Structure 1
Amino acid sequence: MFRKTSFDLLKVTFLFVFSFGVFIHTTSIAQTKKTAGNPVFQGWYADPEGTIFGKKYWIYPTYSAPYGKQVFFDAFSSPDLVNWTKHERILDTASVKWAKRAMWAPSIVEKGGKYYLFFGANDIQNDKQPGGIGVAVANKPEGPYKDYLGKPLIDKFHNGAQPIDQFVFKDKDEYYLIYGGWKHCNIAHLKKDFTGFVPFEDGSTFKEITPENYVEGPFMFKKNGKYYFMWSEGGWTGPNYSVAYAIADSPFGPFKRIGKILQQNPEIATGAGHHSVIHASGTDDWYIVYHRRPLGETDGNSRVTCIDHMYFDENGFIKPVIITNEGVERNAIK
């Protein structure tokens, strides 16, 4: 009896010491890790939207899988761009009765202490199919999110734009939804409560702002009074998926294509596209968050989320992004 008890005690002590050692080793690695590395977190994830809430960076991506398995969203948060925490299933089809499949390309905005997650679902091919762009709401960035409207916000094709790839753009105190697949892009003025849209002065609700070579994945930001409009070109399953941009004096354009700023490097990865941009206010740090396909992967859904630096030249044009395996350096939000 004594021998057995002593052996059990010795085993427990060993397991404790071993576990504590692993914890210290892991913590040490996390503290000394200088760059995130690309991808920034493990798993097949695409169409990432990066943003900042409080003192944390957040990424909301598509779970990259066959459409029938794309029935939920995960989110990721980080205090420093290097160490990321996964928040599982912040929203899934169980909370959205009209969404059945192909949930993708989330866009998020905070307003009035609530977090609104805009998303596409069902990959509708015509106006008769149920689905489109929806909205979910939560009290915290990590959710859980619930369907806000009980129906899609947009469930029809307008100006030829498939209702997918939504991005919410805040300009001063106004919010706009910029969206569209099938090589057409629309902008619409959101109501203050995000339940619908405010018609423009000419009576229209959806204005087309499609630039040359646009395919999908719109994104917009404002810098020095100028509106930078970005989008994805090429096919998302191929190696030539890429990002181009234009600059205008208004969020309505006209947007004249300037050129590509993100594309594959055959020595690092292919299919670099469908991105977003993170910029901490008051800093000169700009980051592009995007997905790409690891070398050797041929499955269309084999996509990973990456972050690299984005720089501007003296005239305000975006320099071509250099995609890396190292990723970006640690940068806590001040």
Structure 2
Amino acid sequence: MAASLALLAACQSTETKQETTATTAPAEAPKADSAGAKKYLSEPLISNIYTADPSAHVFNGKIYIYPSHDIETGMPENDKGDHFAMNDYHILSMDSVGSKVTDHGVALSVKDIPWAGRQLWAPDAAFKSGTYYLYFPVKDKQDVFRIGVATSTSPSGPFKAEATPIAGSFSIDPAVFQDTDGNAYMYFGGLWGGQLQRWQKGTYDANAAEKEPSTDVPALSARMGKLSADMKHFDGPVQDVKILDEAGKPLLASDTKRRFFEGGWLHKYNGKYYFSYSTGDTHLLVYAVGDNPTGPFTYKGVIMQPVEGWTTHHSIIEVKGKWYIFYHDTQLSGKTWLRNIKVTELKRKADGSIETIVP
């Protein structure tokens, strides 16, 4: 462990694109304690840098992972997340789950984004017509989170950012879903430090509360925008993602174990659309199911119980007929702002419901 942490510290200042290969225990071979009991569900995929918020995709027959790159800044923790002061992205790849992981080096930095101020948080990626798109949230020079897009001819980058953020975008955690009919949608938003609660009136309100309402009113939800043909703009107005309870009513702000907080992700299974997300301060990954990518979605249950560390953030993909969930915890550092990404199999029951994972 001491050697791993020393290597981590040495790699935090890397600013050039340089591929490295890191090997860890296979994802399904967790460490055991002295009594032989499993200590963790799975092991970190990479240990040369700290990584979090893994958005995974299969491109060209390989698994590519687009995570946040955690660094140590010495900032005190707060509910706005200032201590998550990431300033670049490293893209990872592997041939299959459990194989060696390649770190392709720096793919995009804050300094390369003309309109950016600070804090490159959880990204996502997409591919269309020979171009790879990297979607990222970053605070602009007025300290307001916006979502930008960068492009590359390679899934591993480097990526070149557009000169301005996506018009109509705000908050954090972009996740792009491309349906079989060719349409693409971006889901985004996050409470507290993600500033979603500051957009209730349609424009940014710097004087709004630091947190969302906590009473029995409909919960603030993620936002969704259909992407234009060039994948760089919204094709129409941004909409609320409607998440309903079993009676068909909107989830309430006080329902903190089911309401949306951050980290949305959409995947499709047997013709149904699964919108999954983090509940934030209750530390669950949960999901809701709908008949359309635009919703509404009905809450169904818990995907994953709390991990080690405050945050929880995931992605779900199919690889060679099996489904996997990529997630993070703090096994390597024990610090909630210095995380490591992992993967484990996602299992379903015959009716399509997801079995709860206990990490």
Would the TM-score normalized by the shorter structure come out above 0.5?
yes
Name structure 1 gaps, 5 residues minimum.
Answer: 1-26, 157-161, 200-204, 324-334
Which of 178, 202, 215 aligns to 2:261? It is 215
Q: How does 1:112-151 map to 2 (within 5 A)?
A: 112-122=129-139, 129=143, 131-147=145-161, 149-151=162-164
- SS at the partner of 1:305? strand
2:357 maps to 1:279:
no
Displacement of 1:100 in angstroms is 2.3
Moved more, 223-232 or 39-48: 39-48
Displacement of 1:56 in angstroms is 1.2
**Structure-1 separation of matches of 2:26 and 2:177:** 34
Change (3 A) 1:69 1:208: closer
- SS at the partner of 1:94? helix
Displacement of 1:317 in angstroms is 0.3
**Structure-2 separation of matches of 1:291 and 1:122:** 23
Question: Runs (4+) of structure 1 moved beyond 6 Å?
Answer: 29-34
Question: Structure 1: which amino acid aligns with 2:285?
Answer: V
Displacement of 1:63 in angstroms is 1.0
- Residue 118 of structure 2 is matched in structure 1 by 101
Structure with higher RCO (Cα < 8 A, 6+ apart):
1
Change (3 A) 1:31 1:163: closer
2:64 maps to 1:58:
yes
- Residue 21 of structure 1 is matched in structure 2 by none
2:238 maps to 1:206:
yes
Q: Is the 8 A contact 1:134 1:154 kept in 2?
A: no
Question: Structure 1: which amino acid aligns with 2:173?
Answer: D
**Structure-1 separation of matches of 2:233 and 2:186:** 10
Number of aligned pairs? 272
Change (3 A) 1:300 1:33: closer
Displacement of 1:217 in angstroms is 0.6
TM-score (norm 2): 0.70
- Residue 283 of structure 2 is matched in structure 1 by 241
**Structure-2 separation of matches of 1:34 and 1:48:** 15
2:182 maps to 1:168:
no
Aligned CA-pair RMSD: 2.7
Q: Is the 8 A contact 1:294 1:302 kept in 2?
A: no
* Percentage of matched positions with identical amino acids: 30
Q: Is the 8 A contact 1:263 1:273 kept in 2?
A: no
Displacement of 1:206 in angstroms is 1.1
- SS at the partner of 2:111? helix
Which of 81, 85, 89 aligns to 1:73? It is 89
Displacement of 1:194 in angstroms is 2.0
Q: Is the 8 A contact 2:23 2:101 kept in 1?
A: no
- Bigger proportion of residues as helix: 1
Displacement of 1:94 in angstroms is 2.6
**Structure-1 separation of matches of 2:123 and 2:155:** 13
- Residue 179 of structure 1 is matched in structure 2 by 188
- Residue 258 of structure 1 is matched in structure 2 by 300
Displacement of 1:130 in angstroms is 5.2
Change (3 A) 1:153 1:315: same
Question: Structure 2: which amino acid aligns with 1:73?
Answer: Y
**Structure-1 separation of matches of 2:90 and 2:150:** 14
**Structure-2 separation of matches of 1:256 and 1:57:** 30
2:317 maps to 1:303:
no
Change (3 A) 1:305 1:34: closer
- SS at the partner of 1:256? strand
- Residue 203 of structure 2 is matched in structure 1 by none
- Residue 38 of structure 2 is matched in structure 1 by none
- Residue 349 of structure 2 is matched in structure 1 by 313
Displacement of 1:270 in angstroms is 4.4
- SS at the partner of 1:58? strand
Displacement of 1:177 in angstroms is 0.9
**Structure-1 separation of matches of 2:264 and 2:27:** 31
**Structure-1 separation of matches of 2:26 and 2:275:** 34
Question: Structure 2: which amino acid aligns with 1:207?
Answer: Q
**Structure-1 separation of matches of 2:121 and 2:25:** 34
